[in-house]
């Protein structure tokens, strides 16, 4: 029955093709002398008809699929038990196969794809790594590259933020600017005032021979003042009318295209209309002028201005016109190098000069790599003990060239069980000596080269650092487990030299952009808050109602319900989109066959268009014992925090001794205020003492000076 259906369908397709071909063939035979256009039209119709017919005739696969589908359907038209059972088993098998196929597509727990497998391997390696004692050796190098590659399509283009800033600050010569009007008005007022004073002097018969008048100790000459003001505003006096007219026409044309052609500023003011005789200095009374009222008036602005008056320059049409004028000026500056400095100094203003100063040229970037980054490394060795919650490290900032070598080494150890941090203060001793020279000991006076500081009991009683340490550690692991699998990818390490050095068999790449980094921050904060809340709930006696930590956690939980972790990532994306900086992080984790973490390579890129460059930090971390034992910083780590190390100096006791010394000096200073100039009261008679220390004869200035010294 199915085969008859297929044959009928094929015959129907052939008949359709024949019916479509025949009219065209007959048409061609009957019209042998048609034009070339008709022939082309016939050929096009023939090809199109054949394509449509062939498309509709691909019925064999569909028929086969229909046959396969019909074989699994239940046939209720016949009452044959054996056939029904056979069809039932076929139907059940078909449904199971369909469910299995569907599960293979979406059930990543049972059928994980490569991304889920990479994520599972990495999470297992990180959990194992943080739960076991291990050592680490790290080395970081730096390199700077231009933010936009020279061969990129974006080469020569500015970022949107920089374009907006430069366009807003750009002021073409001849364009109307209200600040110029205010400056010129002040200058003319000053000129008028000088003219009035000069006229007063000329009216004096005793001063007929002099044109100079002394006003409040300042010599004013009317002609000199006028010449000076004219030189300060060359657009009104010195500029030729031909140049001014040309500039006005250029600006007017640009503004006309934007739909807003404004008159030039110099057309609104005419020096001939301003008469100095109309200004009377006697009308101005300084006593009636209230500066405080004027300042408060400026804060609010006049009319429709005020604090938002500066936003009037953000009119889209004006901004577009200014942008076109600025681009024309830049193109002209490229063709005429003598105008480039004039463009940056006069037109873009202070903001443009600052942007130009921060932006680095390719030559500056190449010099930084050659003379700085190529010889600069950041090294460290670390030892981690999870059971005792201890982390001991030595960080070294090294710069080595053939002619100079320097190194700053800082040992640091954290003990979360004891709530203490131990550090070698040698690197910061010169700074401490500048701030507090009296209490800064010399290296020879120190019993040990490390100092230990601990948190006060008032803080540890409220929140033990060990609890916070566990909460943060678990939060990081849980947050990474919730990241989408597409951020984890298995990479081919067959050509990776670093992977061969550490003996890795697989590697997992994890990308942390602004979105992923913000999401990690949001999830970590929520997990830390949740863990601390569980700790508080388990210890109700320690944290009764009204406790500071309990109230703070309740408020944090309340605010955590108002946002999702992805919102933090979106916020960072927004900052990166409109801000002057972009940041992303790429991590490569190298594992062995047993999912043990062998090494990590971290690449951090920080830069932006305003800076003109992107700085890359490449940090390689090895977790093998051999590299740790042979490293140059390992002896310093053992000397600082090893079993044979000298006990560190108690930093809390050192700070307490300084405070006690300061309190004693202050008490002694106040006690000296009651002394009688070093002589006892018994050396004088009572009358002489009363006369000498009469209440009215006490020098109050001494007490005031002493109090001032104490306050200092």
DSSP letters along 137-191, please? EEEEEEEEEESS-TTSTTTTPPPHHHHHHHHHH---TTS--HHHHHHHHHHHHHH
pLDDT per position as a tens digit, 633-691: 999 999 999 888 889 999 898 888 888 988 998 888 888 887 755 554 445 444 544 55
- Per the DSSP assignment, residues forming a β-bridge with 604 are 585, 617
Q: Are residues 61 and 128 part of one domain?
A: no
Would you say residue 213 lies in a domain? yes
**Of 98-107, 162-171, 310-319, 345-354, which gets the smallest average pLDDT?**
345-354
Q: What is the mean pLDDT of residues 156-169?
A: 81
pLDDT higher for 518 or 240? 518
Q: What's the confidence (pLDDT) of residue 292?
A: 46
pTM above 0.75, yes or no: no
Q: What's the confidence (pLDDT) of residue 610?
A: 77
pLDDT of 520 above 70 = yes
Would you say residue 450 lies in a domain? no
Q: What's the confidence (pLDDT) of residue 439?
A: 78
CA 615 to chain centre: 14
**Measured CA distances, 416 to 15, 261, 454 (Å):** 88, 70, 10
In the 8-state DSSP scheme, what is residue 262? P
Range of the domain at 77: 2-103
CA 694 to chain centre: 68
Phi then psi dihedrals of residue 192, to 5 deg = -65, -40
Q: What is the mean pLDDT of residues 91-116?
A: 84
Q: What's the confidence (pLDDT) of residue 66?
A: 45
Look at residues 286, 314, 347 and tell me which one is the last residue of a structural domain.
347
Q: What's the confidence (pLDDT) of residue 193?
A: 62
Please, are residues 451 and 649 in contact by the beta-carbon 8 Å criterion? Answer: yes
Split into its structural domains, the chain has a count of 4
In the 8-state DSSP scheme, what is residue 408? E
Q: Are residues 32 and 9 part of one domain?
A: yes
Q: Are residues 230 and 282 part of one domain?
A: yes
pLDDT per position as a tens digit, 596-614: 999 999 999 888 877 888 8
Would you say residue 390 lies in a domain? yes
pLDDT of 213 above 90 = no
* Mutual angle of helices 316-335 and 241-258, in 10-degree steps: 130
Would you say residue 51 lies in a domain? yes
pLDDT higher for 322 or 385? 385
How many whole angstroms separate alpha carbon 6 and alpha carbon 9? 5
Q: What is the mean pLDDT of residues 347-368?
A: 79
Look at residues 347, 362, 383 and tell me which one is the last residue of a structural domain.
347
Would you say residue 532 lies in a domain? yes
H helices then E strands: how many in the chain?
26, 14
């Amino acid at each position: 029955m199915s085969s008859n259906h297929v044959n009928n369908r094929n015959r129907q397709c052939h008949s359709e093709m024949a019916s479509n071909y025949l009219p065209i063939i007959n048409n061609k035979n009957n019209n042998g002398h048609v034009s070339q256009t008709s022939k082309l039209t016939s050929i096009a119709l023939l090809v199109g008809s054949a394509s449509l017919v062939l498309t509709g005739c691909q019925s064999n696969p569909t028929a086969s699929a229909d046959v396969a589908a019909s074989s699994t359907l239940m046939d209720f038209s016949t009452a044959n038990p054996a056939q029904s059972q056979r069809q039932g088993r076929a139907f059940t098998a078909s449904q199971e196969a369909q469910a299995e196929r569907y599960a293979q597509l979406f059930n990543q727990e049972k059928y994980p794809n490569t991304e889920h497998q990479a994520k599972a391997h990495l999470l297992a390696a990180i959990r194992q790594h943080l739960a076991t004692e291990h050592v680490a050796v790290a080395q970081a190098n730096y390199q700077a590259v231009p933010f936009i590659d020279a061969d990129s399509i974006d080469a020569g283009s500015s970022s949107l933020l920089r374009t907006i800033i430069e366009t807003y600050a750009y002021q073409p010569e001849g364009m109307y600017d209200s600040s110029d009007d205010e400056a010129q008005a002040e200058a003319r007022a000053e000129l008028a005032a000088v003219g009035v004073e000069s006229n007063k002097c000329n009216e004096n018969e005793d001063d007929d021979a002099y044109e100079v008048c002394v006003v409040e100790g300042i010599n004013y000459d009317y002609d000199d003042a006028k010449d000076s003001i004219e030189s300060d505003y060359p657009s009104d006096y010195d500029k030729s009318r031909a140049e001014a007219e040309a500039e006005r026409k250029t600006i007017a044309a640009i503004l006309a295209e934007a739909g807003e052609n404004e008159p030039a500023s110099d057309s609104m003011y005419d020096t001939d209309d301003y008469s100095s005789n109309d200004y009377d200095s006697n009308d101005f009374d300084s006593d009636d002028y209230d500066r405080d009222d004027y300042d408060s008036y400026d804060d609010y602005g006049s009319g429709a201005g005020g604090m938002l008056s500066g936003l009037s320059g953000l009119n889209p049409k004006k901004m577009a016109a200014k942008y076109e004028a600025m681009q024309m000026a830049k193109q002209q500056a490229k063709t005429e190098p003598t105008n480039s400095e004039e463009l940056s100094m006069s037109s873009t203003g202070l903001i443009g000069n600052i942007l130009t100063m921060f932006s680095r040229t390719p030559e500056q970037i190449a010099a930084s790599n050659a003379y700085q980054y190529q010889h600069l490394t950041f090294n460290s060795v670390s030892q981690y003990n999870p059971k005792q919650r201890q982390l001991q490290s030595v960080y070294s900032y090294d710069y080595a060239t053939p002619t100079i070598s320097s190194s700053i080494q800082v040992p640091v150890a954290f003990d979360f069980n004891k709530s203490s941090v131990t550090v070698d203060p040698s690197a910061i001793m010169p700074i401490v000596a500048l701030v507090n020279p009296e209490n800064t000991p010399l290296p020879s006076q120190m019993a040990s080269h490390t100092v230990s500081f601990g948190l006060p009991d008032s803080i540890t009683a409220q929140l033990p650092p060990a609890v916070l340490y566990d909460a943060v550690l678990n939060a990081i692991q849980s947050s990474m487990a919730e990241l989408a699998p597409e951020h984890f990818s298995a990479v081919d390490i067959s050509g990776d030299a670093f992977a061969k050095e550490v003996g890795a068999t697989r590697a997992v790449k994890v990308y942390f952009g602004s979105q992923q980094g913000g999401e990690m921050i949001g999830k970590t904060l929520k997990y830390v808050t949740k863990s601390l809340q569980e700790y508080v709930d388990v210890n109700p006696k320690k944290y009764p109602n009204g406790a500071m930590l309990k109230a703070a956690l309740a408020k944090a939980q309340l605010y955590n319900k108002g946002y999702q972790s992805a919102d933090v990532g979106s916020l960072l994306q927004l900052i990166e989109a409109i801000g002057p900086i972009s940041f992303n992080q790429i991590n490569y984790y190298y594992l062995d066959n047993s999912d043990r973490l062998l090494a990590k390579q971290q690449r951090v890129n920080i830069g932006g268009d305003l800076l003109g460059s992107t700085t890359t930090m490449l940090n390689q971390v090895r977790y093998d014992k051999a590299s740790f034992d042979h490293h140059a910083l390992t002896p310093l780590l053992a000397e600082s925090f090893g079993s044979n190390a000298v006990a560190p100096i108690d930093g809390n006791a050192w700070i307490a001794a300084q405070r006690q010394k300061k309190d004693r000096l202050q008490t002694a200073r106040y006690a000296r205020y009651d002394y009688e100039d070093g002589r006892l009261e018994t050396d004088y008679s009572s009358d002489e003492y009363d006369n000498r220390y009469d209440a009215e004869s006490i020098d109050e200035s001494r007490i005031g000076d002493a109090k001032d010294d104490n306050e200092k």
